[in-house]
């Protein structure tokens, strides 16, 4: 009985001790919690910013480019157990063009998504970039010429006679800054691909006034999907020359040799026939040595001695024939 009275007096009936005990226990719990799960700050980098309501600026006459703020970093602060569990896929980072300012800035906002929304009130989220900055431009159209470029080395046995580009001009539609810098559309063909008469479809690239490639953007377009180049070619061949002479030198003299200024000559002709030409012969009646006592030098145009549909290519058709005349050796 005596023990029961003591307990009632000091424990059961003492409400102040009870409250103090509860408060102390709560504070101790907070201390332990902060020791085991402290506040933590972490940065998640390179998160793409999604554009919302871009149709508000894409009215058909204007386009935009992002100057800065297309990617950003998220700075998170909260309990380590929560912050450590979050990844880039748990966030939605947006720039709503409905909030576009007169300075072309769009606020960047971040929010949790999915089942991680429950942490929204337990952590702090900020983005390193507060705004996406855009540039607005008018769309423009302009006609530019099409030019043909070659790559590689020409084939020795092929001569390109014609290269007809179709169309010769194209219409470029793009932001005004691009159309103002664009100078031409260039198509490039490899010499190795031209071995006969053919038409090759090619994709053009846009070049500026310095010849540098203009970077393509989703807003650029041409009024054609490709350029066709029609090639007409001939064959080329180096053909040996042959010559004989007519007549006999003066008595006591003889022909000791016949020299040509060149042994071969380049000939161009139909691709299907050029290989049939084995030699160009200079007729003997052009080189007359009757009764001569000294060297005979004759310039000869070999054009008449070629087949009708062939010509000398890339050099003079005239060759020099020298007949060496010397006295006969005394017996």
Shared-domain flag, residues 200 and 261: no
Domain annotation covers residue 60: yes
Name the token pair of 42. Answer: 């972490």
SS3 191: helix
Shared-domain flag, residues 113 and 63: yes
Number of domains in the chain: 4
Domain annotation covers residue 45: yes
Shared-domain flag, residues 14 and 54: no
Shared-domain flag, residues 114 and 143: no
Low-confidence ranges of the chain (pLDDT < 70): 1-37, 330-331
Q: Which backbone phi and psi does 69 adopt, to 5 degrees?
A: 90, 15
Question: What DSSP line would sit under 9-46, residue for residue?
Answer: IIIIS-HHHHHHHHHHHHHHHHHHHHHHS-EEEEEEEE
| CA 315/CA 264 separation, integer angstroms | 11
The pLDDT of residue 57 is 86
pLDDT tens digits, residue range 104-142? Answer: 999 999 999 999 999 889 989 998 899 999 988 889 999
The pLDDT of residue 3 is 53
| CA 115/CA 95 separation, integer angstroms | 22
Shared-domain flag, residues 258 and 313: yes
- Give the domain range for residue 211: 139-235
The pLDDT of residue 107 is 95
Q: What is the CATH number of the domain that holds 148?
A: 2.170.120.40
- The CA radius of gyration of the chain, in Å to the nearest whole number, is 45
Q: What is the CATH number of the domain that holds 116?
A: 2.170.120.30
Among 129, 157, 192, residue at a domain's last position? 129
Give pTM, 2 decimals.
0.66
């Amino acid at each position: 009985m005596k023990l029961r009275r003591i307990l009632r007096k000091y424990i059961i009936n003492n409400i102040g001790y009870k409250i103090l005990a509860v408060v102390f226990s709560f504070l101790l719990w907070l201390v332990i919690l902060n020791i085991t799960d402290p506040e933590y700050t972490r940065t998640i980098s390179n998160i793409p910013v999604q554009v919302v309501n871009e149709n508000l600026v894409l009215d058909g006459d204007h386009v935009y480019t992002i100057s800065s703020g297309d990617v950003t970093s998220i700075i998170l602060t909260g309990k380590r157990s929560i912050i450590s569990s979050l990844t880039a896929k748990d966030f939605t980072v947006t720039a709503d063009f409905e909030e576009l300012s007169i300075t072309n800035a769009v606020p960047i906002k971040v929010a949790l998504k999915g089942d991680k929304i429950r942490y929204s009130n337990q952590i702090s989220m900020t983005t390193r970039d507060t705004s996406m900055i855009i540039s607005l431009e008018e769309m423009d159209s302009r006609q530019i010429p099409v030019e043909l470029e070659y790559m590689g080395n020409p084939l020795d046995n092929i001569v390109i006679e014609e290269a007809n580009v179709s169309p010769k001009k194209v219409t470029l539609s793009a932001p005004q800054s691009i159309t103002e810098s664009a100078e031409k559309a260039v198509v490039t063909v490899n010499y190795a691909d031209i071995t006969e008469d053919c038409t090759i479809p090619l994709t053009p690239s846009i070049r500026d006034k310095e010849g540098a490639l203009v970077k393509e953007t989703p807003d650029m377009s041409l009024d054609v999907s490709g350029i066709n180049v029609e090639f007409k070619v001939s064959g080329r061949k180096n053909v040996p020359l042959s010559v004989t002479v007519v007549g006999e030198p003066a008595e006591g003299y003889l022909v000791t040799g016949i020299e040509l200024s060149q042994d071969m000559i380049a000939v161009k002709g139909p691709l299907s026939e050029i290989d049939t030409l084995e030699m160009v012969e200079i007729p003997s009646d052009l080189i007359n040595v009757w009764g001569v006592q000294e060297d005979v030098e004759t310039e000869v145009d070999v054009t008449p001695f070629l087949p009708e549909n062939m010509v000398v290519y890339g050099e003079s058709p005239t060759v020099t024939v020298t007949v060496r005349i010397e006295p006969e050796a005394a017996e």
